[in-house]
Amino acid sequence: MKLYITYEEPFANRKFNSNQIKEVYRDMADKAEYPSFECWISDMLKSGVFEEV
């Protein structure tokens, strides 16, 4: 299972599994900017907000 970590608030230094990262998207992402999880996670990884560990 993939794990993701972020160093940005409000989740600094927390790790998330695949299910948890989808909950972050569901609860926190701007759906107008990121209509799908795949679009959001791709951008978050490219920009360095989240990293795969």
Binned average pLDDT, 10 residues per bin, the chain of 53 residues: 95 97 98 98 98 97
Q: Cβ neighbours of residue 23 under 8 Å, at least 6 residues apart? A: none
* Full domain range(s) for residue 7: 3-52
Phi first, then psi, for residue 11 (nearest 5°) are: -115, 25
Give DSSP secondary structure letters for the chain.
--EEEE-STTSTTEEEEHHHHHHHHHHHS-TTT--SHHHHHHHHHHHTSEEE-
State the total domains in the chain: 1
Per-residue pLDDT, 1: 85
Report the predicted TM-score, pTM, of the whole model to 2 decimal places. Answer: 0.90
- Cβ contact 2:18 at 8 Å: yes
